[in-house]
Amino acid sequence: MAGLMRAVAQLGQAHNVSVIDVPIPTILNATDVIVKINATAICGSDLHTYHVASGSEDTPLLYGHEAVGYITETGDAVQFLNVGDYVIIPDNLDNGHYTVEPDHYTVPIGFGGVQDGTPEAPLPGLQSKKAPLQQPSSPADYHFPAEYARIPFADNSLITIPINSTTNETTLFNYLFITDIFSTAWSGVTWSGFQPGDSIAVFGAGPVGLLAAYSAILRGASRVYIVDDVQQRLDLGASIGAIPINFNTSDPVRQILAHEPMGVRRGVEAVGYEARLPNGTMDESITLRQLVNVTANQGGIGVVGLHNNGTYNFDIGTVFNKALTIQGGIVPMR
């Protein structure tokens, strides 16, 4: 399909995005499909990029990595997908590597790397970068919001949406939560080592943090604390049964320990490197330090906020002495 489509891009100015014309992507490799986008979402990692002068007029930085839509074209080697299928496009794609190791972890390519891979030349994983996380900018790349997207290694990357007589726009859009935020939130709780009956503190009450709190409630948490300074977010957390903690009121660690003198069993970091102090000063490691201080001995912390800035001011001694387990990363959504 030749022609132009509309896409959202940043052209080199912080806090300023534009809708621009870019070529409609086409099949480049036999394992590709083209998807017409029905709905997409803004990720917190997009906001990290939005806050700095990313892209330029010559090389626009296209946004986004989570969407739902339907397939309009398939490559000759695509076996399990058909034109017309509605699909979940996750926040990461298959990278073309095959491994027989059950515990092998490949950093997903949705967050970086050239998107023109073939089975003979698999895609690289996340490249080593300083913040913000820069995604590739070719119009044929995997980016949203845009009207169309080319998805490489589609058979392994996409998840089909069941369509029946009761499917409507609302139920279709509900699958958008699975593309990133709900899967990420659920994994953050899992990575903390959570078990039914555990207490848990979630730092950050954005979409991922709220869904992490909700995930813990669904999974039988005894108490869930959610930490933020935006009252509307805290009110949403309270509405699902979480205990709101406003870090502008006083030290959130002290507030939580007043309820949990031995600390919470589990914690989730859902803020990332743009964490800040009550006075507005950026402190990229503050939430991690607070979680270490509020988590009980032999507890666990799941880190799903974006951290790619290298060295942090971090108290490894307390982690060691409390025998804490910390796991984080970009969630392999599938």
Q: Which of left, alpha, beta for 234 (phi over 0: left; psi -120 to 50: alpha)?
A: alpha
Residue-wise pLDDT for 280-317, tens only, equals 998 999 999 999 999 999 999 999 998 877 778 888 99
Phi, psi of 244 (to 5 degrees): -75, 140
Angle at 327 between CA 211 and CA 221, to 5 degrees: 40
pLDDT given at position 165? 75
- Percent helix, percent strand, percent coil in the chain, to nearest 5: 25, 25, 50
Winning range, highest mean pLDDT, from 155-159, 161-165, 244-248, 280-284: 244-248
At 14, is the pLDDT very low, low, confident or very high (cuts 50, 70, 90)? confident
Question: Strand pairing of 67-74 and 33-40?
Answer: antiparallel
Residues 291 and 269 sit within 8 Å (Cβ to Cβ): yes
Task: For 65-106, write each residue's pLDDT tens digit.
Answer: 889 999 999 999 999 999 999 999 988 777 676 555 555 444
The more confidently predicted of residues 140 and 12 is 12
Please, what sign has the CA dihedral across residues 307, 45, 20, 149?
positive
pTM of the complete model? 0.83
| pLDDT value of residue 11 | 85
d(CA 85, CA 72): 8
Task: Output the CA torsion sign for 64, 238, 203, 182.
Answer: negative
Same fold, 4-179 and 181-328: no
Instruction: Give the pLDDT confidence of 204-249 residue by residue, as tens digits.
Output: 999 999 999 999 999 999 999 999 999 999 999 999 999 999 999 9
67-74/86-89 β-pairing = antiparallel
Angle at 242 between CA 241 and CA 247, to 5 degrees: 150
For 291, the enclosing helix (H) or strand (E) is helix 286-294
For the domain with range 181-328, which CATH number is right: 3.40.50.720, 3.60.21.10, 3.40.50.10420, 3.40.50.10190? 3.40.50.720
List pLDDT tens digits, range 101-117.
555 444 444 433 333 33
Give the integer Cα–Cα distance in Å for 168 and 104: 38
Q: What's the CATH fold of domain 4-179?
A: Quinone Oxidoreductase; Chain A, domain 1 (3.90.180)
| DSSP E strands, 152-294 | 159-160, 199-203, 223-228, 243-246, 264-269
Can you tell me the distance from the alpha carbon of 154 to that of 35, in angstroms, rounded to the nearest whole number? 10
SS3 per-residue string spanning 91-118:
CCCCCCCCCCCCCCCCCCHHHCCCCCCE
Rounded mean pLDDT of the chain? 84
Domain boundaries defined on the chain = 4-179, 181-328
